[in-house]
Structure 1
Amino acid sequence: MKPLKQEFTVNFEYPVYFTEGLFEEANLTFASIFKENFAFKPKIIFFIDSEVYKLHDELLNQIEYYFQKYNYLPKLVDTPIIIPGGEVVKNDIQYLKEVYRLLEKHKICRHSYIIVLGGGALLDMIGYAASTAHRGIKLIRIPTTVLAQNDSAIGVKNAINFFDKKNFLGCFTPPYAVINDFNFLKTLKKRDWISGVAEAIKVALIKDKDFFDFIEEHAITLKNSSNIQPMKELIYRCAELHLNHIGKSGDPFEKGSSRPLDFGHWSAHKLERLTNYQLRHGEAVAIGIALDTTYSYLFGLLSKEEWQRVLKTITNVGFNIFVPELGKSLKNPNDQDSIFQGLSEFQEHLGGELTIMLLQQIGHGIEVNEIDIRQYQASIEKLETFSKELNENKQLQTI
């Protein structure tokens, strides 16, 4: 008998909205997502990051009043559930189990909606729950950090950490919709405000020189949360570049070995664990970008002038470009605490041959399949020296 062959195409489409004051009475952004005439009234359940809830204590009342006013919306089955944010919610599987329990309790089905409002880690975990419960429940993401609004929330990845490995359990499931409300950014701590700029620097370096020029020009301003306009522009352009890549790459679910949007990430993921997640993801990515940019320079791909421009822009935004964990077990790449273990873990996570994105020039990345460990060791030492020089110069300027 001849083998049977199945072939079909599934189109995915979802909107990404930008607004302010999402649940204010006159704001129709959220209400416009839903049809006014359902064949039957579906259900909806909210999960809210506990840190966001603390900073926006009026939020629950706003949501409940909003649903009363626009009574054609899906049925709100419960008061929004408050749940911790941060990596703890991805590291401890008990949080995932509790979400499953609540979905079962309220009989949330495939025609229902899950709303998650918070930072990237919570969005990852709730997204994983939404994708796996009943093989898929419609998910609406409302990211509340710069990092989530310009990167993680607008993509198709969902995951939790397992076996002490970042995103070991996960899936690719597009959201039903994403809503970026800039008002949530106004209460961010300085570290979280800055952290998300790292992903913008990343995508600018490998895809858009003009965008990098914008970040370089506004680096000092972007550090100041009292001026939100440059950050709005950064988030919009960064989100646009990410969406374009996901939609036009030909590999949105990463079936191949190439993952250009993870420039700087092989070391970043390892650094997060080596620092027991004391480093924010964006802070680790900034260091990873600095490292791969330095390697690109020493390897002869990038000019000295562009190398220095990149590192100075990263530090002007407010990032450190070196932490002690980067140099730990530097001469012993096989040590489990060595940053170079991140290379094998990165390759294992993606499969296939090792593929690392480097810089050929600002705005243009180049993928390589082999790296020189000794050159990377030299890059770490170079990065530490350059970091010390920058810090000394800053101290002299303040005297």
Structure 2
Amino acid sequence: MYKAQTIQQHFQVDYSYKVVFTRNVFNETNTALKNIINNDNAKIVVVIERDIAVYHPGIINDIAGYFQMDTVESSILIVKGGESIKNDTRATEEILQLIHNNQVDRHSYLIVVGGGAVLDAAGYAAAIAHRGIRLIRIPTTVLSQNDSGVGVKTSVNYFGKKNFLGTFSPPYAVINDSVFLETLDERNWRSGIAEAIKVALIKDAVFFNWITENSRALNDRNMEIMEQLIFRCAQLHLEHIGTAGDPFEKGSSRPLDFGHWAAHKLEYLSGYQVLHGEAVAVGVALDAVYSRLSGRLDGTDLQRILNVLTTLGFEIFHPLLLQETTMEINPALVKGLEEFREHLGGELTVMLLRNIGTGEEVHHLNKNILSEAVQYLAKSNVLIQE
């Protein structure tokens, strides 16, 4: 009679990567990137977001000169930016073709220069080529420099669901160059600040106070203040990933996605006309109001949160939150709760607020309170407009 046997396998993999903060990364006198690669014979291919090539017209020549490239046309790929790159599988195939054509292997480097969506798509391609090639991210937006670009996730959208396809693949390195922020339009400059507010609300009350005190400077596009905001926000995200015990999200908890269950669905419902950071601002406002209405958050704290969002120019309400006929929360938005749960599996886990700087995880949201919270935001928005 056959007797079942078991071998219990266990091993640990140590991940380590640098996040460098600099200016003019492709200037020949800046050695930050060369120090990371540290191999004159390494194969290098580069993916650049189209808007970066447009607003920084010398970047192709700068990259070619920096790496002394002989075959610029075959080594550099310009791709579209924004969420559309994650909705189009042809974009991923283009990047894979670049990797294939240049015989890029696991000892070679794919450098991606662009906003969060381009980093996601290129990172996904890098993760599945040869089961993972070396990826160096050079984020070019506030949001990607302080949040998505410094993390360990890659993704594209599929089946109409945000980030349905993706991997947990830490980058080889990240280089944040603040010069790229100079050409951002107002919406993209502002958008990434929402992620800083988000992480401050659940992790660091002192940082939230600092954002409040420096709102005018941020609105005036003070670069030194923005660099400080990006550094602290990135630091908090990296600390959580490295020390919270679940960097690859094997559990049901995702604290850094405070405000995101509604944000992801709002992006989709708007046809991605609402930027991610703008949607996060709405989602943070919604969950902050819910925290207040459910007896968790103090009214003064709620007002401070809504005030800093509106002072920085964010809309805290969007018509897609409401079903016009009933004035209740849009059922399509509520569907985002199940998709949020499904993305991780297990029970629904949503972060709410006890106070500024302290979050509390819950496993159920009351639809009636959600509707009341949406109505509260709608009325507050009217008062702000007046």
TM-score (structure 2 length as normaliser):
0.96
Is the 1:291–1:380 contact (alpha carbons within 8 Å) kept by the matching residues of 2?
A: yes
Is the 2:75–2:102 contact (alpha carbons within 8 Å) kept by the matching residues of 1?
A: no
CA distance in 2, matches of 1:152, 1:283: 15
Equivalent residue letter for 2:341? Q
Is the 2:75–2:98 contact (alpha carbons within 8 Å) kept by the matching residues of 1?
A: no
Is the 1:329–1:338 contact (alpha carbons within 8 Å) kept by the matching residues of 2?
A: no
Task: Give the alignment partner of residue 354 of structure 2, picking from 360, 365, 385.
Answer: 360
CA distance in 2, matches of 1:286, 1:319: 7
Change in Cα spacing, 1:332 to 1:4, as seen in structure 2 (3 Å) is farther
Change in Cα spacing, 1:58 to 1:64, as seen in structure 2 (3 Å) is same
Task: Give the alignment partner of residue 349 of structure 1, picking from 327, 339, 343.
Answer: 343
Partner of 1:395: none
Equivalent residue letter for 1:67? F
Answer with 198-207 or 26-35: which moved more. 26-35
Task: Please give the root-mean-square deviation of Cα atoms over the aligned residues, in Å.
Answer: 1.8
Gaps of 5+ in 2: none
CA distance in 1, matches of 2:326, 2:346: 27
Whether 1:90 and 2:86 are equivalent positions in the alignment is yes
CA distance in 2, matches of 1:328, 1:206: 30
Partner of 2:120: 124
| Residue-by-residue CA offset, 1:1-35 (whole Å, 9 max, x unaligned) | 42011100000000000000111121111111122
TM-fit CA distance, 1:220: 2.2
**3-state SS of 1:374 partner:** helix
| Residue-by-residue CA offset, 1:338-384 (whole Å, 9 max, x unaligned) | 21111011111111000010000000000001111100100000111
Whether 1:12 and 2:6 are equivalent positions in the alignment is no
CA distance in 1, matches of 2:310, 2:223: 20
**3-state SS of 1:9 partner:** coil
| Residue-by-residue CA offset, 1:130-152 (whole Å, 9 max, x unaligned) | 00011000000000000000000
TM-score (structure 1 length as normaliser):
0.93
| Residue-by-residue CA offset, 1:34-73 (whole Å, 9 max, x unaligned) | 224x7xx2211000000011000011111111113xx9xx
Whether 1:180 and 2:176 are equivalent positions in the alignment is yes
CA distance in 2, matches of 1:167, 1:333: 28
Whether 1:26 and 2:29 are equivalent positions in the alignment is yes
Change in Cα spacing, 1:329 to 1:162, as seen in structure 2 (3 Å) is farther
Equivalent residue letter for 2:14? N
| Residue-by-residue CA offset, 1:236-281 (whole Å, 9 max, x unaligned) | 0000000000000100000000000000000000000111110000
1:207-226 superposed matches below 5 A: 207-225=203-221
TM-fit CA distance, 1:101: 1.5
**3-state SS of 2:197 partner:** helix
CA distance in 2, matches of 1:302, 1:333: 22
Whether 1:65 and 2:61 are equivalent positions in the alignment is no
**3-state SS of 1:6 partner:** coil
Is the 1:143–1:153 contact (alpha carbons within 8 Å) kept by the matching residues of 2?
A: yes
Partner of 2:368: 374
Change in Cα spacing, 1:259 to 1:174, as seen in structure 2 (3 Å) is same
Aligned pair count reads: 383
**3-state SS of 2:45 partner:** strand
TM-fit CA distance, 1:334: 10
Is the 1:43–1:76 contact (alpha carbons within 8 Å) kept by the matching residues of 2?
A: no
Is the 1:331–1:377 contact (alpha carbons within 8 Å) kept by the matching residues of 2?
A: no
Is the 1:77–1:106 contact (alpha carbons within 8 Å) kept by the matching residues of 2?
A: no
Is the 1:158–1:172 contact (alpha carbons within 8 Å) kept by the matching residues of 2?
A: yes
Task: Give the alignment partner of residue 81 of structure 1, picking from 49, 62, 77.
Answer: 77
Partner of 2:51: 51
Q: Between the two proteins, what is the percent identity of the paired residues?
A: 50
CA distance in 2, matches of 1:215, 1:330: 38
Equivalent residue letter for 2:253? S
Is the 1:328–1:338 contact (alpha carbons within 8 Å) kept by the matching residues of 2?
A: no
Task: Give the alignment partner of residue 162 of structure 1, picking from 158, 169, 177.
Answer: 158
Equivalent residue letter for 1:206? I
CA distance in 1, matches of 2:248, 2:71: 32
Change in Cα spacing, 1:117 to 1:270, as seen in structure 2 (3 Å) is same
CA distance in 1, matches of 2:165, 2:54: 30
| Residue-by-residue CA offset, 1:302-339 (whole Å, 9 max, x unaligned) | 1111000000100111100001001136859897x621
Whether 1:281 and 2:284 are equivalent positions in the alignment is no
Partner of 1:35: 38
Answer with 59-68 or 128-137: which moved more. 59-68
CA distance in 2, matches of 1:174, 1:6: 23
